Structure 1
């Protein structure tokens, strides 16, 4: 059973219709695989982020904010402009799984998850509070 299409897919489809672009051509112009928008609409890939999202917005002659479901004149949330670290192989397996699940959430759910995780993790240490390394001294 395929996942549910993200809201972004419907917004992209509307822009494609308005511009007379095929999903394949828009994907290619944005530097994405030719079948990316089809897979996005089927809920088989997460929405693009970072420069891929910026480029897709340019190809569709709209704003990143519009594509993520916000007022087009509002600045986009910083997290959608961050590059996907998981695709760079920088995350452990459990972190990657958590990130994939997080990406399937809507913005209000994401905000709630962040609040819960921050409260569970406790306060972040102050930069000056990092313990100094102990150096073993040799007897003279």
Structure 2
């Protein structure tokens, strides 16, 4: 397993071995893309959250808490049970892709990206200015 694989990947791999499941079988049973677990174990996608994580834990006959590295009897943190914004349709596809890439960056890289994007976007409007798009809706 690559060094950039999330800690959850090792726990999933152990459950797959114990249940004699392939990553593809478990992915499909959890309603995920067939190659999702392989990409997760390769460190190419972030760990699932919300209902995707709950379904994966059910398929692997374990708890969400175990998959996130906690004692199986401990309630999982609320943030892992919250749905990703993109899965709720709150982000456009390109916004979701940018957010996923941003989340993989280290803190200094994130700060640099924010500076670049802010400089490209130009000055922020004053709080009392109403954008033209809002005026058209009224």
Global fold match (TM > 0.5): yes
With normalisation by structure 1, the TM-score equals: 0.64
1:47 paired residue number: 47
State how 1:55-74 maps to structure 2 within 5 Å: 55-74=55-74
Return 5+ residue gaps in structure 1 as ranges.
110-140
Aligned residues: 104
Q: Structure 1 99/45 Cα, relative in aligned 2: closer, same or farther at 3 Å?
A: closer
1:126 paired residue number: none
With normalisation by structure 2, the TM-score equals: 0.65
1:100, CA displacement in angstroms? 5.5
**CA displacement 1:55-89 (0-9 Å, x = unmatched):** 10011010000000111110000111111112334
Counterpart-to-counterpart distance in 2, 1:101 and 1:67: 23
1:86 paired residue number: 86
Return 5+ residue gaps in structure 2 as ranges.
108-138
**CA displacement 1:82-114 (0-9 Å, x = unmatched):** 111123341487787456544x59xxx9xxxxx
Counterpart-to-counterpart distance in 1, 2:77 and 2:89: 24
2:33 paired residue number: 33
State how 1:95-110 maps to structure 2 within 5 Å: 97=98, 101-102=102-103, 104=104
Counterpart-to-counterpart distance in 2, 1:90 and 1:8: 26
RMSD value over aligned CA atoms? Answer: 2.6
